[in-house]
Amino acid sequence: MSNVLLLRESSQGVPDRYQTTLTSSGYRTICVPVLETVHTNLDALKGIIRDPKAFRGVIITSRRACEAWRLALADLDESPPGDKEGVARWSTVPFYVVGQATASVLKELENLYAGIGFCRLDIRGESSGTAEQLAHFILNDSISGSGQMLYLTGDKNRDTLPNILSGTGIELHPLRVYETQGSSTFEQELLIALESFPKDYSAWWIVYFAPSAAGFVTPILRCHFDFSMAEKNGRKMKIASIGPTTTIFLREELKLQVDAVASKPTPEELVSSIIAFDRSHEL
């Protein structure tokens, strides 16, 4: 049996499928978050929320963008009454979202901030699972009024949605409201996680989920794991990747040996690749 370090945040509120799938296959697992979110341009967003008349729709593709909206609303909730007068007008503006999870967060905000007029929202497109699907939904939807579509983004949003909507008469007003960066507490949380495992257990799998995190965490991991596999002491480890893009980055940019690659980015395929490697290298 090996330990498995998952370089990702554990699922909130429900059992983490990566952990449960690995555990059911006989592995010990731990998740350590590698990235944290920093919100940006909240003053600009707050100004927009005060006065929505320039916009005929809002596009939100992530929970983190919803969280930025929540922070702006919370600030307005503490502001003088005159700063809140325009908030109620958002009930006439459609919100286009990716996924039920994003829609659920908006509905929670309705409950929290109905007192300042943020309620009776027109939420559309929640059955869309990707930004591409949402873009096509918007094209097929009947959008009334004039003005731009407010598009809340992060620092790693792809151009898929803007490219699809480009040239269709739908003008976007992008506003970056969050950025992701390496977690300031990663090494501390890593050490706590390592301490929770038996001291005599030195066999580890490290699972990478994204190139953006790999470059940040690997120098820290090198301080606590034997990447060379040459030393007799230290934690011996093997590397698994969630897919080809991450694998290419690990091999070409970080010069790491990747031992297992999931054929699809799912818990089942990840575990299958790890088990296949372990079985083929049994003594």
Q: Supply the pLDDT for residue 277.
A: 95
pLDDT in tens, 77-110: 999 988 888 999 999 999 999 988 899 999 999 9
Q: How confident is the model at residue 201 (pLDDT cuts 50, 70, 90)?
A: low
Per-position DSSP letters for 148-199, written without gaps between them: EEEEEEETT--SHHHHHHTTTT--EEEEEEEEEEE-TTHHHHHHHHHHTS-T
Question: For residues 17 and 268, what is the distance between their CA atoms, to the nearest angstrom?
Answer: 9
- pLDDT-wise least confident of 4-13, 27-36, 230-239, 260-269: 230-239
- Check pLDDT > 50 for residue 236: yes
Q: Supply the pLDDT for residue 231.
A: 42
Question: For residues 278 and 283, what is the distance between their CA atoms, to the nearest angstrom?
Answer: 10
Go through the domains of the chain in sequence order and give each one's CATH number: 3-34+183-280 (3.40.50.10090), 38-181 (3.40.50.10090)
Q: Which of 92, 30, 111, 98 is nearest to 64 (CA)?
A: 98
pLDDT in tens, 35-67: 888 999 999 999 999 999 999 999 999 888 999
| Residue predicted with more confidence, 117 or 167 | 117
Q: Which two tokens stand for residue 21?
A: 């799938």
Contacts of 175 (CB under 8 A, 6+ apart): 41, 44, 45, 48, 150, 151, 152, 153
Question: For residues 211 and 139, what is the distance between their CA atoms, to the nearest angstrom?
Answer: 32
DSSP letter assigned to residue 256:
P
Q: Which of 170, 261, 206 is nearest to 31 (CA)?
A: 206
DSSP letter assigned to residue 226:
B
Average pLDDT over residues 247-275: 94
Distances in whole angstroms, Cα of residue 164 to Cα of each of 60, 139, 159, 177, 271: 16, 9, 9, 22, 36
3-state secondary structure of 36: strand
Q: How much of the chain, in percent, has pLDDT values that exceed 70?
A: 96
Distances in whole angstroms, Cα of residue 206 to Cα of each of 77, 104, 189, 261: 44, 33, 15, 12
Q: Which two tokens stand for residue 178?
A: 């969050």
